[in-house]
Chain A
């Protein structure tokens, strides 16, 4: 009885997981081995042709390179903003802390599309930022921000910072606040305390936050679709185009699987590295 009960209790979640995630995943994987031609459509053959196409085409390398570069830069910036932010929030008066939590989590409460369109309004050539700069005679020609990787990173950071803050926050709450006092009593100034005592203890949070932010950014769709358009393509928007414009579903499926495998591989490697680096220090 005891043996089967946990399985029974988790059955609904398990069924949902199987139906909603595993099934489409398997179907996508199967699809990626099929072949396609413009006249006959999808053929139920089995081969690695799509993978060979993707992996031998520098066009796709460029897209994957851009995707991971955007994800990496987003992760680094989110960590640089989120870590001090989480630390300051920890030290705030409880009232201001609740206000800050609301401000920080705010972006998550707004639909991605609405939020990204907001960024489009801000970043466009005739957008709010360029208009303002022009009005104050600070620029002659508009700075190009729409349809650039930089614009995508900016908008992604905005969405991702809350995840980073929450992860770091959780790690910081586990630390003994007396360690900061101990360091201070031993002669450390505020900056040294942050760098030598707080930051290392926040590290597990920063690393797990980075994992979340990186994988979400690498597979983000709405933000690069709206801010990057056809010109700045990333893996997920390329998959979308293959499916809906070219109608080459098998090729799209192969790109999707490569993205998935690459992200998984990076996550596993990252996790390994972290565990090795911090073995014995953090449980």
Chain B
């Protein structure tokens, strides 16, 4: 059964529609991410679920119960704020215990649950510290512990890792996933960071302009993006406009003056936008090459190389794993190859 159900949730601020008929359901124990660019309405959606904003329309159901008339303090949700919002005048222990105190949990049980939760986030040794005396990553853990200790039915996280530096962010991603699974808490995360959403979630809901664009597993969202926006927002992508033609022996794709093998049939012929992931393109010999091109730029990224190649299809991004072999230099003539099955057809209307 769905723990959380959003039905046609809408929020207007005067003329602007921040959230537009947003529908989503989150199952028990699931980790779902709302992913979208800044200003697409993620925070507003979360604030409505938390009870800090009143929806202009639609319903929010928690365990089948309509939350419209339930004030924020009675919803029993665990919330981790982007700024952590720790109480600066309370120690870690007092911060974590606040929610239990409000629930009038007896002192000895309170102590036990605080200790247990601090243990979960690996902070037991800092229970007497004040927030100001801690690093960003540690504060993050306190915020998480404070939200988890009340054993919420749903954990809401608003860009929880965006205030951390890159290295710490990666560590915390793993930690967050571990903690979420150990606590077994249903989680809704809001983020603009596609790699974060992919690393953490069971399911991603991609938002744009207040609307839900695609809802899928991270793998499917990446591999079968619903439209050009999703394909360019999730990782890097080559967008190739062309004309699809059906045929007995599979489809053909006409693009500029070239004709290529198209993806497997089943797609409607007509003008289309094709998405091709840069890591699915290989350098190859002239005989096997699908298109010829010339390397115009080459960037070394440590574990991989990023190339820009001028071809008859336009400029294509190519990503190659750094396997220690010699890679083409800038200005070198190259031939590119890919399996036709990696071409993804995005309907032409969705072209930006």
Chain B neighbourhood of A281, CB < 8 A: 88-89, 130, 132
Q: 1/0 per position for A250-283, CB-CB distance to B under 8 A?
A: 0000000000000000000000000000101111
Q: Is A185 a contact of B89 with CB atoms below 8 Å?
A: no
We find that the number of chain B residues with CB closer than 8 angstroms to chain A is: 28
Asked whether A138 is an interface residue with its Cβ less than 8 Å from the other chain, the reply is: no
Asked whether A181 is an interface residue with its Cβ less than 8 Å from the other chain, the reply is: yes
Q: Is A201 a contact of B130 with CB atoms below 8 Å?
A: no
Chain B neighbourhood of A278, CB < 8 A: 89
Q: Is A178 a contact of B81 with CB atoms below 8 Å?
A: yes
Size bin of chain A's contact surface: 20 to 34
In this complex, what residue of B is CB-closest to A187? B102
Q: Is A186 a contact of B86 with CB atoms below 8 Å?
A: no
Q: For the complex formed, measure the closest distance between the CB of B187 and the CB atoms of chain A, giving whole angstroms.
A: 15
In this complex, what residue of A is CB-closest to B79? A185
Complex CA gap A168/B272 in Å reads 62
Complex CA gap A183/B87 in Å reads 9
Q: For the complex formed, measure the closest distance between the CB of A143 and the CB atoms of chain B, giving whole angstroms.
A: 43
Q: For the complex formed, measure the closest distance between the CB of B231 and the CB atoms of chain A, giving whole angstroms.
A: 34
Chain A neighbourhood of B86, CB < 8 A: 179, 182
Q: Is B77 a contact of A185 with CB atoms below 8 Å?
A: yes
Q: Is A183 a contact of B88 with CB atoms below 8 Å?
A: no
Q: Which of A180-238 contact B (CB under 8 A)?
A: 181-189, 192, 196-197, 200-201, 203
Chain A neighbourhood of B133, CB < 8 A: 280
Q: Which of B214-271 contact A (CB under 8 A)?
A: none
Q: For the complex formed, measure the closest distance between the CB of A278 and the CB atoms of chain B, giving whole angstroms.
A: 8
Q: Is A183 a contact of B98 with CB atoms below 8 Å?
A: yes
Asked whether A57 is an interface residue with its Cβ less than 8 Å from the other chain, the reply is: no
Given contacts A176-B83, A186-B99, A280-B130, contact A201 B88 (CB under 8 A): yes
Q: For the complex formed, measure the closest distance between the CB of B294 and the CB atoms of chain A, giving whole angstroms.
A: 52
Q: Pick the contact of B73 from A179, A189, A196, A201 — CB < 8 Å?
A: A189
Q: Is A186 a contact of B88 with CB atoms below 8 Å?
A: no
On B, residues with C-beta under 8 Å from A are 50-52, 72-79, 81-83, 85-89, 98-99, 102-103, 130, 132-133, 146, 150
Chosen A-B contacts, 28 in total, with CB atoms closer than 8 Å, are A176-B83, A176-B85, A178-B82, A179-B85, A179-B86, A181-B52, A181-B79, A181-B85, A182-B79, A182-B81, A182-B85, A182-B87, A182-B146, A183-B98, A184-B72, A184-B73, A185-B50, A185-B51, A185-B72, A185-B75, A185-B77, A185-B78, A186-B73, A186-B102, A187-B150, A201-B89, A203-B89, A282-B88
